[in-house]
């Protein structure tokens, strides 16, 4: 079993369990919150970002849906988790043809959501559109086309192939049960901006839940973006074929659509280069912990590729944001091992056998898995995994 004791410095009440009533993973509300009347640089960054960037068209609808969902489950005394999942995009044009993406298939988020449902949580699944979803993930992005799981029965009906039937029936029952009890709300996002607006809104709605509200931030969040004042309207051109047309139309008035977000004198002609100058996305985890959901349980993920820095970065994140748990993972080994970094506790590596393709909770550990205080060597992993 995996057990985390409350650190001395963190008040022991109120408490909440992450995975289930009987789980050994117990966390308290974050220790120290700043004076709510004082405006910090994080407050200013938040005000500026949300004033300067346009709210997504879906914000109102999603906020309404999330509010109804949270109120419904709060009235029933049920714990609610917001699971974020998948990568956020950074558009380069307003009418977006090109964008920068963040790595994530949504496996961690979708799988975790299933385990949370199994543990009695109601789940708001804020995910990248078309990334993996709880339950359907078993089939939707399989190497086979989902139609390969099916065949036509003698009476013209659609039937699952014999070898998939028992698992499919189990998954279908779990999915239908979650749906019937209104336990799963799925909300899609695409861009980093969509994500941040909806995250803030839902986190604030979860505030009255106190420690029964868990925020489980597995989405891969872009660290850099093109701010609106530097984003062009139309598709960035790779040649200057339209320049003369534009010049004659505008009589040497500088086009508002020139992609000009970097002031330098490149050796290669500008017409052949694409220079993308990105601003940092404010670190809103700070605002989330201190202001949006200060009584909530907050679990964030830290993704790195260099094993030498993972634990240090996870620890840094915990120190900086003062939340409850950082789960660190390496790109190359994320399906088999993670490290839990919690306040006042020693780091715990949790590992599952490689044939089990998911890590979520302690349920996976006894089946040949283990805990330890050190990472795997990524070089030991099979090629291509």
Residues in contact with ligand PMT by the rule CB under 6 A: 104-108, 217-218, 220-221, 223, 281, 283-285, 300-303, 317, 329, 334
Shortest spacing between CB 241 and ligand PMT, in angstroms: 37
Shortest spacing between CB 85 and ligand PMT, in angstroms: 6
**Two tokens at 206?**
């979860």
Of 227 and 255, which has the nearer Cβ to ligand PMT?
227
Question: Are the CB atoms for 91 and 131 separated by under 8 Å?
Answer: no
Of 49 and 121, which has the nearer Cβ to ligand PMT?
49
The beta strand positions in the chain, using DSSP E, are 15-17, 26-28, 80-85, 89-91, 99-101, 122-128, 150-152, 158-160, 184-189, 213-217, 224-225, 279-280, 297-304, 325-330, 337-341, 348-351, 370-372
Shortest spacing between CB 214 and ligand PMT, in angstroms: 14
Of 196 and 232, which has the nearer Cβ to ligand PMT?
196
Shortest spacing between CB 356 and ligand PMT, in angstroms: 14
Provide the total of helices (H) and of strands (E) in the chain, helices listed first: 9, 17
Of 74 and 184, which has the nearer Cβ to ligand PMT?
184
In this structure, is the dihedral angle defined by the CA atoms of residues 114, 340, 128 and 305, taken in order, positive or negative?
negative
Shortest spacing between CB 246 and ligand PMT, in angstroms: 36
Of 74 and 310, which has the nearer Cβ to ligand PMT?
310
With H, G, I as helix, E, B as strand and everything else as coil, classify residue 263. coil
Report the distance separating Cα 152 and Cα 159, nearest Å.
Answer: 6
With H, G, I as helix, E, B as strand and everything else as coil, classify residue 9. coil
């Amino acid at each position: 079993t995996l057990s985390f004791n409350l650190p001395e410095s963190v008040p022991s009440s109120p408490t909440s369990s992450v995975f289930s009533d009987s789980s050994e993973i117990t966390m308290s509300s974050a220790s120290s919150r700043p004076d709510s009347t004082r405006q910090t640089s994080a407050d200013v960054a938040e005000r500026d970002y949300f004033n300067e960037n346009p709210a997504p068209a879906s914000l109102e609808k999603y906020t309404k849906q999330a509010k109804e969902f949270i109120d419904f489950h709060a009235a029933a005394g049920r714990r609610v988790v917001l699971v974020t999942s998948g990568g956020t995009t950074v558009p380069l044009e307003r009418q977006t043809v090109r964008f920068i993406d963040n790595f994530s298939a949504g496996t961690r988020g979708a799988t975790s959501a299933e385990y949370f449902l199994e543990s009695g949580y109601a789940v708001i699944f804020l995910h990248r559109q078309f990334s993996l979803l709880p339950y359907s993930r078993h089939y939707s992005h399989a190497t086979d086309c989902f139609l390969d799981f099916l065949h036509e029965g003698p009476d013209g009906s659609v039937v699952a192939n014999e070898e998939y039937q028992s698992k499919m029936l189990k998954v279908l029952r779990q999915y239908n049960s979650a749906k019937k009890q209104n336990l799963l709300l799925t909300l899609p996002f695409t861009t980093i901006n969509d994500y941040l607006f909806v995250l803030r809104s839902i986190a604030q709605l979860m505030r009255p839940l106190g420690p029964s509200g868990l925020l489980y931030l597995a989405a891969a969040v872009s660290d850099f973006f093109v701010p609106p004042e530097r984003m062009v309207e139309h598709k960035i051109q790779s040649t200057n074929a339209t320049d003369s047309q534009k010049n004659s139309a505008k009589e040497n008035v500088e086009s508002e659509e020139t992609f000009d977000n970097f002031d330098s004198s490149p050796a290669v002609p500008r017409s052949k280069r694409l220079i993308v100058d990105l601003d940092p996305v404010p670190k809103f985890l700070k605002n989330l912990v201190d202001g949006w959901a200060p009584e909530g349980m907050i679990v964030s993920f830290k993704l790195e590729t260099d094993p030498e820095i993972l634990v240090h970065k996870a620890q840094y994140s915990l120190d900086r944001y003062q939340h409850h748990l950082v789960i660190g993972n390496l790109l190359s080994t994320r399906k088999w091992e993670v490290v839990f970094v919690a306040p006042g506790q020693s780091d715990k590596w949790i590992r599952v056998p490689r044939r089990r393709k998911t890590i979520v909770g302690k349920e996976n550990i006894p089946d040949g898995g283990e805990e330890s205080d050190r990472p795997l060597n990524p070089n030991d992993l099979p090629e291509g995994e």
